[in-house]
Each structure stands twice: as C-alpha cells, then as structure tokens.
Amino acid sequence: MKLIAQNSIFIAILFISGYMLDSYVITINRIQGPSMLPAFIDQSFAVSLNESMLKLFGQNYKAGDVYILNAQGSKLIKRLVALPGEQIRIQNGVIFVNDKNMTSYLQLMQPKESDTLSCKYFSKYEVPSNKYFFVGDNLCAALDSRQMGAVSEENILGKVIFNFSL
C-alpha cells in the first residue's frame, strides 16, 4: 500500500512538472503545412522557449530567428525578418530590409518561375513601432505579415530553439 502511495505521488509530481514546464518554460508545437519549408517539414515538431523565459533572460528579438506566434487565435511558426522602424520589400522572391539583400541571411525557399507574382513581390513597408514583420520560409505557401500585418510583441509566444521529426 505504501508503495502505491509513493508511486502515485511520484506520478502526480511528474504530471505537475510537465504541465509547469509546458506552460512556463518550453512548448512543443506541431508544424502543419508547407509554409516553413525547407527548414521545417510538415508534421515535424518545433520546441520553443516560451515568452516568459525569453523576458527572464533578457532575450531580444533577432531577425532570422524563428518564433511561434498567436495569429487570429491560431499558433503559427514564422521567421522574423524586420524589426520596428525597419523597411521591408520583396522583389522577385528576394527580401530586402533597409535596402539590404537578406538572401544569405535567411533560409528561404526560392520561388519557382510558375509561382504567382503576389508571392514574389511585396511593396516597401515600414514596420510600425512595437511591431515585428514575419514571413514563412516558403513565401508562396505562407500566411504571414504580408497578409496579416506586422505582429505586436504580445502575440509572440516563444522562440523556436530546435525542431525534430518522429
């Protein structure tokens, strides 16, 4: 009987620890769809450090890093490409931030000749203060800041620290 009680307490502690870890430290997110190809494969998993932990460690947002976002009630995984006050434009599938070509800096899937012009081009846009501009690595298959607008800091849920497939 004592052994059952000890095991029950141990299992309860594991569940509570897992919940606390998932809620406050890291989250495991399933990737759905092709918007982050080639870096993130459909149905793979991304482990993210939650926003509360980023703030605790004084983490600044950095262009090129991948984040989990709250967008219209859904979780999205996207790459940060422009910070508040920066200007972004996309020309023939190439991202320019403050007129600097970001091709070597970002791991984007290059559009094909047959892709629509709307995914290859985006007019010059200045990111508002306290907002961030995110895109999917697969520009032609992504719902991102080009359609939804820049993202406020409170909608950034965490920073992806690694991904894996089962």
User: How many CB atoms are located within 10 Å of the residue 82 CB?
Assistant: 25
Q: What is the pLDDT of residues 105-135, one digit of tens each?
A: 777 777 776 666 677 788 999 999 999 999 9
Torsion of CA 70, 72, 76, 82, to 10 degrees: -70
Closest by CA to 67, choosing from 166, 152, 165, is: 152
**Contact yes or no for 44/37 (Cβ under 8 A):** no
DSSP for residue 66:
E
pLDDT of residue 106: 77
- pTM value is 0.83
Q: Tens digits of per-residue pLDDT, 39-68?
A: 899 999 999 999 887 777 777 899 999 999
Question: 2-164: CATH homologous superfamily?
Answer: Umud Fragment, subunit A (2.10.109.10)
Domain ranges of the chain: 2-164
